[in-house]
Amino acid sequence: MKKNKSKFSVRWNEGLKGYEADSWGTDFIFIIPQKISQSDRAACYIFGMDKEKNVTVNIEYNILSSKSDKSKVEKKKDKVVIRSFYEYNFYDLVVNNPVEGLHMLEDNRIHITSLDKISIIAYVSNDKSAIDYFLVHPVGMGGNYYGFSLPGHSTITLYFIPLGATNKTISQSHGVHNVSIKLRKNNKIQTLKQSMKAGSLWQYTTFVQETISIWIHDQLNSTITKRVRSKVRTTLSDETARLLVIASVWNISVLGIKKKDFGSFMPTPMIVDQCAKLTTLAYYPINSAFASNALFTSPSDLCPKEMINIKTNITESNLLSMEWNKSAEQISLKGKVSKKMFAITSETTIMNIVHYGGNEGMFIHEIPAYSQWVNGDSSVVVPKGSQATLYVDIHTYKYRLILRFQVLADDYGREATMEGFEYPYFESVDDVSPDFSLFLYTRRLNAGIYRVGIDQELGGRYIAILIAELSGATIGYVAAINRMFHSFIKFACLMMREYDMKSLPLHFLSED
């Protein structure tokens, strides 16, 4: 691999060999998006990172208990021991129905912890079809800045889960977040500001006629920030109070037809809040199956107009004009790409890309940046009554590839016997970077539970995305993901502590 000589550059992840994705964790706080009825089923699949080890998992959530003909909300505490995977049902789960505007909700969060790393895929289903599946992010993937867009002619609901301060020198009683939510609808900016206490649960719901772009900024209040810096200026501890976000889209109309299905995902945080000259290109390899219904969001509503590149190989590319200071538009790249794999690159913009679609229903998920690709295991669930397509985009520095593909259970939940390694057909595609080669692996999957990975001894990284169609519903989710990362961040944090800066100095992104 060619080495980048720039002082600050994108992490190409040579150092991640042998490490699990950030979406594996030990502490998860989330909710089930509340577009469900009493007949629906809320549940999750919990996967142990070590398939051969018994893992104890603690689960807490609120239930509606009926005693003496009276309903009462109680805290349910459960403990399960899993081996490889476990399907857990949230019986009698207390839910909050969407209400227009920004509101604090009753604390109906789900809290799952384990001493060993686990991964979680949550879902809601009814008697006829799956409604939605999404990858749950652990608290370690929370951030203080988000930027993303959601499709229009729909109702959107955002859930905000402010977390306690991550530095142990800060008292949890000081965990107050100053949250700013900037919305761009019809080229008009609306800003909502709200103080949110750590441990609370908030919801914002609105109908949007056109695509909406959202930027969320979370800060500790100024007195806390000053106190923290004075105490731990010389340490490398994380001083940020983090926020988790869940986005849900429902009642979407496509070609005048309103779909009953809905889609949810947990966006990953941005790492910058403005556009600036990058020493290394922002890089987004994309499977052509996801070339339609894409929404691009810059890290700021003030970013200038830009021509981004759509690279189909090292020497060929098309240009796409992006007016970042205007409302996001649904973009189809079908007419600009003729290959099965292409890459979006930018010299100034670390962006967020969301893809949505579905024939029977609707799904929505992020298209991860290259820095978010993984090389540990990914877990995949295909619901009963469906067939799915698993898209695996792989890069490698070597010519030999091994895909580790394990079936954990069939569609009846029985433990399967097929496991081990496969040497499947990898479709090579034109290189879009001189640094490595890309390959595609596409597989039809029946209902069941699967585990995917690559041979870590050979290096490389991949991203796995599952799309499944059912009667009246569609699901789509990323199986495992990393946080965005730039190698200048650690150096920048050192500089911030040295000079007591209030925010990341974005000139670190410049070549000057």
**Which is nearest to 104 in space by CA: 161, 152, 65, 180?**
161
Q: Give a yes or no: residue 2 inside a domain.
A: no
Q: Give a yes or no: residue 4 inside a domain.
A: no
Residue 329's pLDDT band (boundaries 50, 70, 90)? confident
Residue 443 amino acid letter: R
Q: Give a yes or no: residue 14 inside a domain.
A: no
Q: What are phi and psi of 453, to 5 degrees?
A: -165, 175
Q: Looking at the structure, tell me whether residues 94 and 221 fall in a common domain.
A: yes
Note down the domain range covering 297.
276-485
Q: Looking at the structure, tell me whether residues 432 and 315 fall in a common domain.
A: yes
Res 31 pLDDT > 90: yes
Residue 407's pLDDT band (boundaries 50, 70, 90)? low
Q: Looking at the structure, tell me whether residues 241 and 304 fall in a common domain.
A: no
Asked which of 239, 265, 291 is the last residue of a domain, the reply is 265
Cα distances (Å, whole numbers) of residue 201 to 77, 398, 421: 19, 47, 43
Q: Looking at the structure, tell me whether residues 237 and 325 fall in a common domain.
A: no
Q: Looking at the structure, tell me whether residues 208 and 308 fall in a common domain.
A: no
Q: Looking at the structure, tell me whether residues 332 and 397 fall in a common domain.
A: yes
When computed from its CA atoms, the radius of gyration of the chain, rounded to whole angstroms, is: 22
Q: Looking at the structure, tell me whether residues 252 and 288 fall in a common domain.
A: no
The mean pLDDT value for 309-336 works out to 86
Percent of the chain's residues with pLDDT above 90:
43
What's the total number of domains in the chain?
2
Q: Give a yes or no: residue 502 inside a domain.
A: no
Q: Looking at the structure, tell me whether residues 253 and 290 fall in a common domain.
A: no
Res 248 pLDDT > 50: yes
Cα(290)–Cα(373) distance, integer angstroms:
16
State residue 335's pLDDT score.
Answer: 77
Q: Please, is 475 exposed, middle or buried when counting C-beta atoms within 10 Å of its C-beta (0-12, 13-18, 19+)?
A: buried
State residue 241's pLDDT score.
Answer: 64
List beta partners, residue 418.
Answer: none
Residue 143 amino acid letter: G
Asked which of 265, 293, 322 is the last residue of a domain, the reply is 265
Q: Give a yes or no: residue 7 inside a domain.
A: no
State residue 162's pLDDT score.
Answer: 95
Q: Is 44 within 8 Å of 136 (Cβ atoms)?
A: yes
Q: Give a yes or no: residue 510 inside a domain.
A: no
Asked which of 265, 293, 311 is the last residue of a domain, the reply is 265
The least confident of 66-80, 135-149, 196-210, 284-298 is: 66-80
The DSSP result for 32-87, as a single string, is: --S---TTSEEEEEEEESSTTSEEEEEEEEEEEEEETTEEEEEEEEEEEEEESEEE
Q: Is 226 helix (H, G, I), strand (E, B) or coil?
A: helix
Residue with tokens 């839910």: 95
Residue 502's pLDDT band (boundaries 50, 70, 90)? very low
Res 237 pLDDT > 60: no
Q: Looking at the structure, tell me whether residues 291 and 423 fall in a common domain.
A: yes
Work out the number of other CB atoms within 10 angstroms of the CB of residue 164: 18
Q: Looking at the structure, tell me whether residues 379 and 253 fall in a common domain.
A: no
Q: Looking at the structure, tell me whether residues 353 and 463 fall in a common domain.
A: yes
The DSSP result for 379-412, as a single string, is: EEEEEEEEEEEEEEEEEESSS---EEEEEEE-TT
Res 98 pLDDT > 90: no
Q: Give a yes or no: residue 211 inside a domain.
A: yes
Half-sphere exposure of 110 (CA within 13 A, CB side): 29
Q: Give a yes or no: residue 512 inside a domain.
A: no
